[in-house]
Amino acid sequence: MSAETLQVLADVGKGKSTRGVLRVIILALIAGASIASRLFSVILDPWFNFRATKYLVANGFYNFWDWFDDRTWHPLGRVTGGTLYPGLMVTSGAIWHALRALTIPVDIRNVCVLLAPAFSGLTAIAAYLLTNEMTTYNSAGLLAALFMGIAPGYISRSVAGSYDNEAIAIFLLVFTFYLWIKALKQGSMLWGALCALFYGYMVASWGGYAFITCLLPLHAFVLILMGRYSTRLYVSYTTWYALGTLASMQIPFVGFLPVKTSEHMPALGIFGFLQLLAFLDYVRSAIPSRQFQTFLWLFAGGIFVLSLAALVIATSAGVIAPWSGRFYSLWDTGYAKIHIPIIASVSEHQPTAWPAFFFDLNLLIFVFPVGVYLCFQELADEHVFIIVYAVFGSYFAGVMVRLMLTLTPVVCVAGAIAISTILNNYLVAKTPTEEDQQAAEAAEKKGTKSGLKSATKPVVGIYSLWSKSLMVASMAVYLLIFVMHCTWVTSNAYSSPSVVLASRMPDGSQHIIDDYREAYQWLRQNTKEDAKIMSWWDYGYQIGGMADRPTLVDNNTWNNTHIATVGKAMSSREEVSYPIMRQHEVDYVLVVFGGLLGYSGDDINKFLWMVRIAEGIWPDEVSERAFFTPRGEYRVDGEATETMKNSLMYKMSYYNFNNLTLEEAFTSENWIIRIYKVKDLDNVGRDHISAAAFEKGLKKKKATKKRGPRVLRVD
Amino acid sequence: MAPKRNNANRGVSPNPKTAATSASATSSSAVPLPPNPNPSAPIASRPSSSHSASSSHPKTSASAPVSQTWDKVVSNLTSHYQKSTPQRTKLLDAFMAFLVVVGVLQFVYCVLAGNYPFNAFLSGFGATVGQFVLTASLRIQTTEANKKDFPAVSPERAFADYVVCSLILHFFCVNFIN
């Protein structure tokens, strides 16, 4: 598709204005295509963001800022206004208000659903701008826009209805990088300030802003090491840092982090270093070089030692916090599993499998290194940026699946540079004439005499029409395959929302499994307004949004202990779990059970993480080892261990479908969701375990019997 | 310290091939320069570079030559500054010096008296630092010698940029000060 547009462009667009118009039209079409390719299926996901937006629209900005949410994290509640990135909600709220002001009545839900596709169109344009800074070929920019628009690595987070922070963050990421390159090239304060403003917007939108915070200093540092310090670098970097840091501190959730945590220290360090360099630069221009050396050694050495000492003292005195857990897990992939299971338990935080690169980037992953190589050939300041970004993006994408998202822009840019170079050489390059060749040979002879062979350029040209057409045709085929792959991936893999499952019947017809919504609907209609639902945190946002019931834990995993409490309740015996549930006023317990259908994403599958997280807080009460058979297997069949069989989760899923303390309240059509009601105390105030024990005539439960009611009567 | 310097001397004189790249440049440039009083100064100062872990140390050991060159450096610097800096730029420099003083005062206050309204300290300090770098940028952009670095930025544009950036900076500071 793009090759054909290029050909059309080459044929028709002879005049400059025609080309400009064509370029605008093509960009508009690309933006349209990137929006259209995201509309395969529409289901609003992260329900929490939608809920927050509704709150924002209904109650205004200041109330939203101070919002305390008592319907999540029961009984703690959550200071929502201070613990979220408000960029997404504020953006859609602003769009909603703008549309209302234009007398276009839209539902806030529609704004939320279509926000991600709309911003993907903007991302495509930002990629065009960024690429145009790298190369003189305009086609590269258009190709980059196209790739950015349809690359599955980005689509995965921006289909219609995927209303998450990444929806706008990737646009901001690419656009901030564009502004940075622009500022660096021109050495302009204004562009630096714009870069800082968009950086601030990015900080308001996504925790991944740290990527920018680390990448820009790194770029500056590499430039300095290459001996490329320039006054332009000073102007752009310091303007960005001074304004951007202040901008980022405006967000309550970020607050003082930029001056306190180690993630932000490289940026500060480079900022100070640039001040030194600027001063030295000035001194060098003022005095003779001999004296300058003396000056340099004394001055730079002294400053270096002083600042190093200050850093060490500040870190050891605890003024600067050490690196946070998520960042350790970026360096050491085994770290998270041992120390912070809550991070490792998220499937997005797992290391990336090799096929995922091909699946998400297809053709681009092959041409990506070519593009980086071409950047090495030119190696201006902005090409260094692409190289640095490519190296770090690749590393981080390899460490965490989720960070594939930050790699995608640079892959698109580098791939577009590579492909457009190939196409330009084979489409446009003229066959060199005899005279050219002779002149070049003569020049080459001269060149060998003067010494530097690599400085002379050999004559390169494509002579035969065959090779031209063959090459162009094969590139066109590759690009077509890429488009087909993207469409296929989008429609099959990334447009299936987690709430509705699609499967095939034996006769090939599609069968929709809609158990989640069935269960949430049941909760909404059959339970009390304030009935507390206990489930694993994955389903917290959905229950909060779709069933509108308070939950104990949800996807905003801010309180590890609370999650561990739920994990402990799930993984312990009923005697232990029941008091926990009573203390947290749990009315219903929701589990996901895939045993009937063979659905693999169920709670038993996630069960080990619950155990691990609980073990992290109560190592002597929950032990992961006890859930494995003596041969080290994780089994749920007849050979399951006793601990496993007695755990609440297992009982609710497989074993002994009748529990003593819970009674089945609802099971969805395919048994995927099972909801249990926590039984109240019986009419003499005993819990059911001790009551049953009493019936049997056992005496040994006396202690529990005594303790249970007394604790409960208090509240 | 003394054996170190001997090593350095030995390394330069009998075996010029290994130290050729560094030593040739230094010695050749040291000879034609008239303001340099004694040619042994660069060699004496080099151990301090390789050994700059304690910057005060070499000063005491080789105090006489280093301090002499140091004086020379400072006097050269001040004379160059006074001669070749336009009046407007000097005004900017005065402002920058003022900002440095204010910033240092705030920092000292924060260290001595505690950082309790941390918001206020950060925005005050951030305002001085930000204004300082913006002024430095303006100074760089308006200096004649740097003109070729900024083809897109005329002095008028530089000043307009400066005003806009300062406005943004102070907006953030006022918003953050609580």
Number of Cβ atoms within 10 Å of the Cβ of A715: 7
**Per-residue pLDDT tens over the stretch A484-508:** 999 888 887 776 666 777 777 777 7
The Cα–Cα gap between B118 and A44 comes to 40
A242·B126 Cβ contact <8 A: yes
Please say if the pLDDT value at position A610 is more than 70.
Answer: yes
Residue of B nearest to A307 (CA): B53
The Cα–Cα gap between B64 and B36 comes to 14
Mutual angle of helices A560-571 and A574-583, in 10-degree steps? 140
CB pairs under 8 A between A and B: 151
Question: By the 8 A CB rule, do A690 and A701 touch?
Answer: yes
Identify all chain A residues contacting B157, using CB atoms and an 8 Å cutoff.
188
Identify all chain B residues contacting A278, using CB atoms and an 8 Å cutoff.
136, 140
Instruction: Identify the residue among B61, B166, B172 best suited for mutation to test binding to A, counting A beta carbons within 10 A and taking the highest.
Output: B172
Specify which residues A666 forms β-bridges with. A675
**Per-residue pLDDT tens over the stretch A52-108:** 898 999 998 888 888 888 888 888 888 887 888 899 999 999 999 999 999 988 999
What does each C-alpha distance from B161 to A239, A656, B137, B138 come to in angstroms? 11, 73, 10, 9
Residue of A nearest to B39 (CA): A290
Q: Does A288 touch chain B (CB under 8 A)?
A: yes
* Stretch 592-611 of chain A: residues touching chain B, C-beta under 8 Å: none
Identify all chain A residues contacting B36, using CB atoms and an 8 Å cutoff.
290-291
Which two tokens mark A244? 């951007």
Which of A264-273, A673-682, B2-11 holds the top average pLDDT?
A: A264-273
Q: What is the pTM of this model?
A: 0.81
The whole-angstrom distance between B85's CA and the closest CA on chain A is 11
Residue of A nearest to B80 (CA): A286
ipTM of the assembly? 0.79
The rounded mean pLDDT for chain A is 82
The closest CB to that of B161, out of A188, A290, A304, belongs to A188
Q: Does A193 touch chain B (CB under 8 A)?
A: yes
Question: By the 8 A CB rule, do A512 and A662 touch?
Answer: no
Percent of chain B residues past pLDDT 70, beyond the cut: 63
Which two tokens mark A691? 């009551």
Specify which residues A590 forms β-bridges with. A675
Sign, CA torsion A594/A598/A602/A605: positive
User: Collapsing DSSP states into helix, strand and coil, what is residue A225?
Assistant: helix
CA A595 to chain centre: 31
B165·A188 Cβ contact <8 A: no
The closest CB to that of B73, out of A189, A285, A295, belongs to A295
A301·B172 Cβ contact <8 A: no
Least confident range of A117-131, A332-346, A496-510, B19-33: B19-33
User: Collapsing DSSP states into helix, strand and coil, what is residue A677?
Assistant: strand
Question: By the 8 A CB rule, do A255 and A321 touch?
Answer: no
Radius of gyration of the CA atoms of chain B, in A = 23
Question: By the 8 A CB rule, do A152 and A494 touch?
Answer: yes
Residue A77 gets the label, from left (phi > 0), alpha (psi -120 to 50) or beta, of left
Q: What is the mean pLDDT of residues A21-42?
A: 88
Burial grade of B3 (CB within 10 A; 0-12, 13-18, 19 or more): exposed
The whole-angstrom distance between B94's CA and the closest CA on chain A is 15
B55·A239 Cβ contact <8 A: no
Q: Does A646 touch chain B (CB under 8 A)?
A: no
The closest CB to that of A291, out of B73, B145, B169, belongs to B73
Give every CB contact of residue A646 below 8 A, 6+ residues apart in sequence: A573, A574
Scored b (16 or more CB within 10 A) or e, A628-654 reads beeeeeeebeeebbebbebbbbbbbbb
Single out the residue of B84, B160, B136, B97 nearest to residue A231, CA to CA.
B136
Identify all chain A residues contacting B84, using CB atoms and an 8 Å cutoff.
286
Identify all chain B residues contacting A286, using CB atoms and an 8 Å cutoff.
76-77, 80-81, 84
- The domains located in chain A, with CATH, are 513-695 (3.40.50.12610)
Q: How confident is the model at residue B42 (pLDDT cuts 50, 70, 90)?
A: very low
The Cα–Cα gap between A92 and A57 comes to 9
The Cα–Cα gap between A650 and A566 comes to 14
B161·A290 Cβ contact <8 A: no
* A667, containing H or E segment: strand A662-667
Residue of A nearest to B79 (CA): A286
Scored b (16 or more CB within 10 A) or e, A172-195 reads bbbbbbbbbbbbbbbbbbbbbbbb
Single out the residue of A94, A326, A325, A47 nearest to residue A208, CA to CA.
A326
Dihedral Cα B16, B19, B22, B28, nearest 10 deg: -10
Question: By the 8 A CB rule, do B134 and B166 touch?
Answer: yes
The Cα–Cα gap between A125 and B75 comes to 55
Which two tokens mark A527? 């339970």
* Stretch 238-277 of chain A: residues touching chain B, C-beta under 8 Å: 238-239, 241-243, 245-247, 249-250, 256, 259, 275
User: Collapsing DSSP states into helix, strand and coil, what is residue A180?
Assistant: helix
Number of Cβ atoms within 10 Å of the Cβ of B154: 13
Identify all chain B residues contacting A235, using CB atoms and an 8 Å cutoff.
137, 140-141
Residue of A nearest to B123 (CA): A246
Q: How many residues does chain A have?
A: 715
Q: How confident is the model at residue A446 (pLDDT cuts 50, 70, 90)?
A: low
Residue of B nearest to A252 (CA): B176
User: Collapsing DSSP states into helix, strand and coil, what is residue A679?
Assistant: coil
Q: Does A65 touch chain B (CB under 8 A)?
A: no
Identify all chain B residues contacting A197, using CB atoms and an 8 Å cutoff.
168
B52·A231 Cβ contact <8 A: no
Give every CB contact of residue B27 below 8 A, 6+ residues apart in sequence: B39, B42
Q: How confident is the model at residue B117 (pLDDT cuts 50, 70, 90)?
A: confident
Percent of chain B residues past pLDDT 90, beyond the cut: 30
Which two tokens mark B53? 């872990």
Q: What is the mean pLDDT of residues A534-551?
A: 86
pLDDT value of position B17: 40
pLDDT value of position A477: 94
The whole-angstrom distance between A200's CA and the closest CA on chain B is 11
The Cα–Cα gap between B140 and B153 comes to 11
Cis upstream peptide for A630 (omega within 30°): no
Phi, psi dihedrals of residue A590, rounded to the nearest 5°: -115, 125
Residue in the block written with tokens 């099959």: A492
pLDDT value of position A167: 85
A301·B69 Cβ contact <8 A: no
Please say if the pLDDT value at position A409 is more than 90.
Answer: yes
DSSP for A583-626?
HTTEEEEEEE--TTTT-SSSHHHHHHHHHHHHHHH-TTT--GGG
Least confident range of A5-9, A215-219, A359-363: A5-9
Please say if the pLDDT value at position B32 is more than 50.
Answer: no
pLDDT value of position A474: 92
The Cα–Cα gap between B134 and B115 comes to 25
pLDDT value of position A648: 85
Please say if the pLDDT value at position A455 is more than 80.
Answer: no
Q: Does A616 touch chain B (CB under 8 A)?
A: no
The Cα–Cα gap between A651 and B91 comes to 79
* A706, containing H or E segment: helix A702-714
Q: Report H helices in B31-144.
A: 41-50, 56-61, 63-84, 87-113, 118-142
Residue of B nearest to A294 (CA): B45
Q: Does A60 touch chain B (CB under 8 A)?
A: no
What does each C-alpha distance from A137 to A140, A425, A462, A477 come to in angstroms? 6, 11, 19, 21
Question: By the 8 A CB rule, do A258 and A241 touch?
Answer: no
C-alpha angle A229/A140/A225, rounded to 5°? 15
Identify all chain B residues contacting A188, using CB atoms and an 8 Å cutoff.
150, 152-153, 157, 161
Specify which residues A586 forms β-bridges with. A532
The Cα–Cα gap between A270 and A499 comes to 46
The whole-angstrom distance between A376's CA and the closest CA on chain B is 23
Identify all chain A residues contacting B29, using CB atoms and an 8 Å cutoff.
289-290
Single out the residue of A170, A210, A205, A217 nearest to residue A406, CA to CA.
A170
Instruction: Identify the residue among A191, A243, A281, A312 best suited for mutation to test binding to B, counting B beta carbons within 10 A and taking the highest.
Output: A243
Q: Report H helices in A638-698.
A: 642-646, 648-653, 688-696
Identify all chain A residues contacting B100, using CB atoms and an 8 Å cutoff.
none
Residue of B nearest to A250 (CA): B176
Q: What is the mean pLDDT of residues A593-615?
A: 83
Q: Does A295 touch chain B (CB under 8 A)?
A: yes
Q: What is the mean pLDDT of residues A592-611?
A: 83
The closest CB to that of A190, out of B84, B122, B164, belongs to B164
Single out the residue of A306, A287, A294, A274 nearest to residue B49, CA to CA.
A294
